Structure 1
Amino acid sequence: MEDLDVVAWVQVSGDRMLAVRSRGRDLLYLPGGKREPGEDDWSALSREVREELGLELDRTSFRELGVVRAPAHDQPDFSHVRMACFTSGHRGAMAPAGEVDEYRYVGRAERHLLAPAAQAALDLAADNGLLT
């Protein structure tokens, strides 16, 4: 069984990481998703963040943070998720849109609210000095 290959936006504010809840899901995920055919990481992530939160990412500050691999949650066709994580500035007013019902900032003490790949991204953010 192959990995589900996705891109994700790691946004940290006030020592907490942004997470979203998609409709019908029990755990929180990072903003992002699958690439469309022919999309590079920037194109896929900027489109997903626009669709999910109504924000425009800033191309000049777009940076890869790292890649995590974790057990897939709520993805019966895949055993694991391979998630390329990126940081970027943004502009616009954040609001849940599309398949996203809510967003919230999650601290390290709330990691149990996150899907496994999002937990791994939280650790990646901490390892890179974005969270204390």
Structure 2
Amino acid sequence: MDKVAWVRLTDRRILSARTRGRDVFYFPGGKREPGESDVETLVREVREELAVEIVPDTARRLGTFETQAHGKPAGVLVRLTCYTAEAVGTPTASMEIEEIALLSYADRERVSAVDKIVFDHLHEQGLLA
């Protein structure tokens, strides 16, 4: 499973979203549609989920992280390519999103397995409180 995610840090906390019916938070983003680039996917998914516009020219690859997919059978991996980017607008839960939150490293247990790896990476760099 190949996904693209937006990593937005604010005051050393990270923006995360919880989809309706899910028990963990994820970074905003999702799967690419046929022919889409990572940035095109990021722009579309973040617009759909949070009603904000990613500024494409500001997108910077943070890294790619891979592990067992949350809630999927053993052996199903998720590969998450993360980007930072500027956005226009105020994030608002829309579409399938039930809740958005700014999470700290203390909230690590509230996120998906692959997001935990990103939390660790950001925490080690001193970017996540």
TM-score range, shorter chain: over 0.9
Q: CA deviation at 1:118?
A: 1.0
Aligned to 2:107: 110
Pairwise CA distance, 1:19: 0.6
Describe the shift of the 1:86–1:128 C-alpha distance in structure 2 as closer, same or farther (beyond 3 A): farther
> Which residue of 57, 62, 66 corresponds with 1:60?
57
- Within-5 A mapping of 1:1-132: 4-76=1-73, 79-132=76-129
AA aligned to 1:116 is A
Deviations 1:45-86 (Å, cap 9, x if unpaired)?
Answer: 110000000010112211000000121112349621100000
Q: Give the TM-score, by structure 1 length.
A: 0.91
Any conservation in 2 of the 1:7–1:83 contact (CA below 8 Å)? yes
- How many positions carry a matched residue from both structures? 129
In 2: Cα distance, 1:129 partner to 1:44 partner = 28
SS at match of 1:85: strand
How many angstroms apart in 1 are the aligned matches of 2:75 and 2:18? Answer: 20
User: Which runs of no fewer than 5 residues in structure 2 stay unpaired?
Assistant: none
Would you say the 8 A contact 1:62–1:86 is kept in 2? Answer: yes
Following the alignment from structure 2 to structure 1, what is the Cα–Cα distance between the partners of residues 87 and 54? 4
Gaps of 5+ in 1: none
Give the TM-score taking structure 2 as reference length. 0.93
Measured on the aligned residues, the alpha-carbon RMSD in Å equals 1.5
**Would you identify which runs of 4 or more consecutive aligned residues in structure 1 move more than 4 Å?**
none
The sequence identity of aligned pairs, in percent, is 40
Deviates more, 1:68-77 or 1:46-55: 68-77
